[in-house]
Amino acid sequence: MNRREHLAALLAMAAMVLPHRKLQALEAQMEEVIPEYGLIGQMLAQPGQRAALVAILSEATDAMPGNMGYLIGEDSANADAIWIVELWDTKASHAASLELPAVQAAISKARPLIAGFGTRAEFTPVAKARA
């Protein structure tokens, strides 16, 4: 169960026992959780292999403890490039994810499709915009 599913289950249980006003306060508190670690990076696929690379990287992102967001986007200016944006509860969770068997398998499978890496930046999230 990932973090979002866990939080949703907790809220569902709370809804059964908490008055509506207290439940709203709990939901608001949980929405205020801001990840402690972020990473954005550009990955370059071998020519014509971007879709295959995205498919492989997408497979291994279901069950990564501490992951609060993992987004893969196609670069609009480079047909072989993708951007990966990751949000983690802690930097240690990110490091631990790299040791997961599913992630290791995805890395091994993806390695032949990777031509290189572009810009990479680590960041500390400090605010969450309201939708």
Q: What is the pLDDT of residues 18-70, one digit of tens each?
A: 555 554 554 554 456 789 999 999 999 999 999 999 999 988 666 789 998 89
Identify the CATH assignment for 35-131 out of 2.30.110.10, 3.10.129.10, 1.25.40.320, 3.30.70.100: 3.30.70.100
Q: Give, in order, the Cα–Cα distances in Å from 124 to each of 26, 54, 63, 86.
A: 25, 25, 22, 11
Q: Which residues touch 72 (CB under 8 Å, ≥6 apart)?
A: 54, 57, 58, 82, 83, 84
Q: Three-state SS for 92?
A: helix
C-alpha–C-alpha distance, residues 12 and 36, integer Å: 26
pLDDT at position 61: 66
The pLDDT of residue 130 is above 80:
no
Q: Taking residues 75-94, what's their average pLDDT?
A: 95
| pLDDT tens digits, one per residue of 93-122 | 999 999 999 899 999 999 999 999 999 999
Backbone angles phi, psi at 31, to 5 degrees: -70, -20
